[in-house]
Amino acid sequence: MKNLLVAQSGGPTAAINATLYGVIKAATENNVNKIYGAKFGIKGVLNEDLIDLKERLNGEIKLLKQTPASILGSCRFKLKNLDSEEEYKKILHIFRKYDIKYFIYIGGNDSMDTASKIAEYFKLKNVKDIFVIGAPKTIDNDIEKTDHCPGFGSAAKFVATIFSELERDCSVYNVKAVTLVETMGRDAGWLTAASCLSRVNGFDGPSLIYLCEKEFSEEKFLTDIEEKLKEKNSVLVALSEGLKTKNGQHILENLQKENKKDMFGHKQNAGVAKHLEEVVRENIGCKVRSVELNTPQRAAAHIASKTDILEASIVGEKAVEFALKEKTNVMVTILRKEAENYEVDYSFTEIKNVANRVKKIPEEFISETGTNLTKKAVSYLKPLIKGEPQIKFKNGIPLFVKIF
Amino acid sequence: MKNLLVAQSGGPTAAINATLYGVIKAATENNVNKIYGAKFGIKGVLNEDLIDLKERLNGEIKLLKQTPASILGSCRFKLKNLDSEEEYKKILHIFRKYDIKYFIYIGGNDSMDTASKIAEYFKLKNVKDIFVIGAPKTIDNDIEKTDHCPGFGSAAKFVATIFSELERDCSVYNVKAVTLVETMGRDAGWLTAASCLSRVNGFDGPSLIYLCEKEFSEEKFLTDIEEKLKEKNSVLVALSEGLKTKNGQHILENLQKENKKDMFGHKQNAGVAKHLEEVVRENIGCKVRSVELNTPQRAAAHIASKTDILEASIVGEKAVEFALKEKTNVMVTILRKEAENYEVDYSFTEIKNVANRVKKIPEEFISETGTNLTKKAVSYLKPLIKGEPQIKFKNGIPLFVKIF
């Protein structure tokens, strides 16, 4: 048997190391000789910065499933086009030097572009004995051809849980108040949509949900809030970080051009929630607060979804399985079965079908008002956050593993 | 037996309903007749807005221990001084009308002022058959005469856990980067200090910790960061929201006076982390990001400390015990025993010793550099976040109870 190389790329998630776990597990069970990890994504290959994973993880491999962020390190690095051969030559050289037969790249849309380019280069050069497989991961859930993406379920569970807690927190005073909560997702509103899952046990959840898929109007936003304030004291609002105006421009883009500096003389860098907090304060005048959920959304392994962690690790196993079957230039996909209870199958798709694309929330998932999700959306989202893994704690905090 | 009235006041916490649980449990076991809850703190008494808690919570009382935020509602309401009798007359009238013999007020420094004033009024009027007990709660841990405060341990566990996850998240790219994380606490830096607990299992945690107890200098802050950047790629920094300059002014106060509006023409309302993010960007120029942990710190019941929840509920029981022993104008306290392993006792102190005061972090807890905690501080903090309660989940999110 020859060797396997695995690397992680793009933004970290709470489940990306679960996929690595699945890769190591399947590769070990299938008697792959050496399992190498490249440090900091494809840059680790280019820098010949590889480590022996079986040696390094001795005994602690199960902790991978509860350790957030890319344990191998990550990068945001775009390979040049194929007509610029240098990087690809180097990669092929390293693969040959370490006798790599299987290369698994765990990442999002951009990382799939990297995997695909390498596979295409090999094809171009008639290299037929190295197999390149993509394993999807992203909290944004925006990869095509897969029902959903490993990493999303855990981030969605964090968002739903925090919204359910904030809904309680916001409702303690009997005064009119607006709370604006910004979630990640510049191009697709899936995580913002997950805020609606805070309602699954009968609580109100967010009163309004603004997705980046829908055109955002400040005027309508203010009217919506005023209407809700007539019905109840505490209005909780979910906002996509990527909210756009009619012409597809980010809502802060023009403002940033007009006023380059903020009060401190700094270039402005605030988020949509902070901006809209001031809009509400000035136009409605009630108590208003903004919360940006920020990077904890992708890092909060302590509230991971059991379903997500399990699926993420199976995706890793399937990546090895497809590699051993000598597939190449494909990405593992999760397919949802047509069944009463949630069940999935695993398959693959050619990477060219997914690289550099963005899967947005479909129209049928968004209510007519544009500020809520449909039942269909809830049915889609609900199973993804189900189940709580048994997290091991030590000294009051979750136990993680690291390899460098 | 006569009746008991309980209310919650001030900012919510993840443990304040555990104290309510303890009150109801002990009152029931001791055959108190009716247990009333006042809605929205003392305002519920003034508005005669009382509910029968045993009836309302039928069967679901245990869920109180995992439900964040004040289930009875809260208020920020300061009673007038005693020479202005109207409010106190009204309160006494309501107490008589509902046959209240025991009044338990769960709250922080300001709420203790309310409880104390009521008790003093009763003394002044020679009312000897109503007993007023304060039960402490605050995520800020800044109440005097108690080793620590219910609510703090859970908030500290959230902060420590998120820092441990963010430390992993920040370290994935091999580029120089600074991550600034702002925690709550305007007057005392206890929650900022809790970030150091992210190191208990051998990980780096924050490289620098800026507490509001220490004078903050932007110049020193930049030098500190530059020094740390020489040692490592990813510098994680914990910041108190209440950072002050040499003269005791909040670090944003002057800036806010000088420049009343931000780039959007809004009155500036950003936090210290966002401000210092721009300071780092302009002066050091490396990758920099700010995260404001915000209200999830006080609401994150899903990662509550088992120690905290247990103690919070015992504090509620003790409040009833002391009321039944006809103590008045006292607050329940937690005393730490001099023992090898963490053990506590419960006692009480006159409320006048605690009301309107602030317990800051003592000098001996702060390192000489001013940007770290001492071993003594870690020994103090570590037991408070210990243990994980068995949270009940349903449909993927924690199960809460509400009564209105």
Q: Are A8 and A109 contained in the same domain?
A: yes
* Single-letter amino acid code for the residue at A145: K
The H-assigned helical ranges of A232-305 are 253-258, 272-283, 296-299
pLDDT recorded at residue B266: 46
Q: Are B128 and B170 contained in the same domain?
A: no
Q: For an interface test with B, which of A111, A152, A169 has the most B Cβ atoms less than 10 Å from its Cβ?
A: A169
User: Cα–Cα distance between A177 and B39 in angstroms, integer?
Assistant: 18
User: Cα–Cα distance between A255 and B271 in angstroms, integer?
Assistant: 20
Q: For residue B109, which of B151, B72, B71 has the smallest C-alpha distance?
A: B151
Q: Are B168 and B267 contained in the same domain?
A: yes
Q: Whole-number mean pLDDT of chain B?
A: 94
pLDDT recorded at residue A74: 97
Task: Give the CATH number of the domain where residue A136 resides.
Answer: 3.40.50.450
The pLDDT tens digits of the residues spanning B16-41 come to 999 999 999 999 999 999 999 999 99
CA B306 vs. chain centroid, Å, equals 16
| Contact by Cβ (8 Å): B164, B204 | no
User: Cα–Cα distance between B264 and B287 in angstroms, integer?
Assistant: 24
Is A110 a known active-site residue? no
The pLDDT tens digits of the residues spanning B152-168 come to 999 999 999 999 999 99
**Residue A84, CA atoms < 13 Å, CB-side half-sphere:** 5
Q: Are A201 and A249 contained in the same domain?
A: yes
Residue of B nearest to A263 (CA): B262
Both structure tokens of A359:
């899967």
Q: Are A92 and A21 contained in the same domain?
A: yes
User: Cα–Cα distance between B82 and B118 in angstroms, integer?
Assistant: 9
pLDDT recorded at residue A54: 87
The pLDDT tens digits of the residues spanning B82-103 come to 999 999 999 999 999 999 999 9
Is B269 a residue whose pLDDT tops 90?
no
- Mean predicted confidence (pLDDT) in B393-397: 98
What DSSP element (H or E) covers A82? none
Q: Are B87 and B206 contained in the same domain?
A: no
Q: Are A281 and A329 contained in the same domain?
A: no
Mean pLDDT by runs of 10 across the 404 residues of chain A is: 93 97 97 97 97 86 96 94 96 98 95 96 98 98 97 98 98 96 95 98 97 97 98 97 93 70 49 94 96 97 98 98 98 95 97 91 98 98 98 98 92
User: Cα–Cα distance between B370 and B376 in angstroms, integer?
Assistant: 15
pTM for the whole structure: 0.97
| Contact by Cβ (8 Å): B38, B44 | yes
The pLDDT tens digits of the residues spanning B127-160 come to 999 999 999 999 999 999 999 999 999 999 999 9
Q: How far is A47 from chain B (nearest CA, A)?
A: 12
The pLDDT tens digits of the residues spanning A227-283 come to 999 999 999 999 999 999 999 999 998 776 655 454 444 444 568 999 999 999 999
SS3 of A158, please? helix
Residue of A nearest to B382 (CA): A395
User: Cα–Cα distance between A63 and B222 in angstroms, integer?
Assistant: 36
Residue of A nearest to B400 (CA): A201
The pLDDT tens digits of the residues spanning A126-176 come to 999 999 999 999 999 999 999 999 999 999 999 999 999 999 999 999 999
* Single-letter amino acid code for the residue at A357: R
Give φ, ψ of B337 to 5 degrees. -80, 150
pLDDT recorded at residue B265: 47
Q: How far is A12 from chain B (nearest CA, A)?
A: 6
The boundaries of the domain holding residue B260 are 154-297
Chain A positions in Cβ-Cβ contact with residue B43 (cut-off 8 Å): 174
Rg (Cα) of chain B, in Å, rounded? 22
Give φ, ψ of A178 to 5 degrees. -120, 130
Q: Choose the catalytic residue: A113, A140, A142, A308.
A: A140
Q: Are A279 and A314 contained in the same domain?
A: no
Is B282 a residue whose pLDDT tops 80?
yes
pLDDT recorded at residue B270: 66
Q: How far is A24 from chain B (nearest CA, A)?
A: 20
Q: Are B219 and B316 contained in the same domain?
A: no
Q: Are B218 and B258 contained in the same domain?
A: yes
Q: For an interface test with A, which of B253, B263, B281 has the most A Cβ atoms less than 10 Å from its Cβ?
A: B263
Return the sign of the alpha-carbon dihedral for residues A20, A23, A28, A31. negative
What DSSP element (H or E) covers A393? strand A393-394
Strands A287-292 and A177-183: parallel
Is B63 a residue whose pLDDT tops 60?
yes
Q: Are A289 and A158 contained in the same domain?
A: yes
- The better pLDDT of the pair A54, B180 is held by B180
Examine residue A371 and state whether it is found in any structural domain, yes or no. no
Task: Give the CATH number of the domain where residue B233 resides.
Answer: 3.40.50.460
CB contact under 8 A, A269 and B278: yes
Examine residue A380 and state whether it is found in any structural domain, yes or no. no
Q: Tell the residue number behind the tokens 């702002």, with chain if given.
A: B182
SS3 of B303, please? helix
Share of chain A above pLDDT 90, in %: 90
* Domains in chain B, number: 2
